[in-house]
A and B are shown apart, each in its own frame.
Chain A
Amino acid sequence: MERNPGPLSLASTAIWAAALLIAAMVGLDLYLVSQGLGAVEFKAKQEGQSVYLEAPLRNRGYLPLGLNITLRLCQHRYTWSSTIPPGGEATARLRVDPRDLGCKPRWSIGVRLGDLVSAEIRPASG
């Protein structure tokens, strides 16, 4: 004789469907954000005695995008962080010591997708 599915079984199926939907949405958002960040290019801009590295950023996903950009030049660290709303735009701006511009840049980027997923991207060599 076949049994009727119990309430726990129905609950787990419902939660499972919701969890899969959320996971798929986060995966799609991660893909959209990575496509947007892949095209980012920083350009040096001189203003008086200071040099700024600027890049326009756009959140192509549908979750708030928290960004924490760190640039290491010579012995100095320059950081910029902000949260971009879905579909919103921002300009990342790092004020850099002009004497450091000859050094090899080492970027590391921290990404938060609506506090559901966070990622850190940095050079593989450490």
Chain B
Amino acid sequence: MTWSLRRYAPPPGRVWAAIAAAVWEAFFWVSIPYLVAAFVPGVDLGLVIPLGALISLCAGVEKLLPGHVVGAAFGLLGSALKIFIILGATSWGTMSFEAEGRLVTLDVRLIDALLTVPIVVSLVGKMLSVGVSVKERR
């Protein structure tokens, strides 16, 4: 009996889809925070960039293993990290920073809700799809 990794290799189309998904997420969660930090004074990126890279990785693995529990788990982790970044970066919607000797307090809770709700909806969708795929396997 021969054993080869090639048997487990995903089709090339799926690999490209995974790379595209990772690049797309990296654009959103790595490039945009960098641009915001470059133009808005007093913004501290903190953990945003490493978490953005992790989101990008999760998106890639999710696309690489569609319909698999492992892929779905990475997808769930990616969605959870997105919510964590949005709420953490804005201090739950009430952030304050110092600029030109003035203390600026911003209340963006409504914008936070607007950005978080679709992620929660997709998270629920992914959870349901994991349930369906587990049932199908049985």
Interface of B is mostly: helix
A residues 24-78 touching B (CB-CB < 8 Å): 26
Verify if A103 is at the interface (C-beta below 8 Å from B): no
**How many residue pairs, one in A and one in B, have C-beta atoms under 8 Å apart?**
71
Interface pair B67/A3, CB less than 8 Å apart:
yes
* A8-B124, A19-B115 given; A124·B107 CB < 8 A: no
Interface residues on B, range: 20 to 34
Interface pair B121/A117, CB less than 8 Å apart:
no
| Chain B positions within 8 Å of A122 at CB level | 102-103
Closest residue to B105 on the A side, CB-wise? A120
Closest residue to A2 on the B side, CB-wise? B66
Closest residue to B116 on the A side, CB-wise? A19
* A2-B66, A23-B114 given; A12·B121 CB < 8 A: yes
Interface residues on A, range: 20 to 34
A residues contacting B by CB (< 8 A) are 1-3, 6, 8-9, 11-13, 15-16, 19-20, 22-23, 26, 115-124
User: 10 closest pairs, A vs B, by CB?
Assistant: A8-B125, A12-B122, A16-B118, A15-B118, A12-B121, A19-B114, A118-B107, A120-B105, A12-B118, A124-B103
10 other contacts beyond A22-B114, A124-B101, with CB at 8 A cut-off?
A8-B124, A12-B119, A13-B118, A15-B118, A19-B118, A26-B111, A116-B111, A117-B106, A119-B105, A122-B102
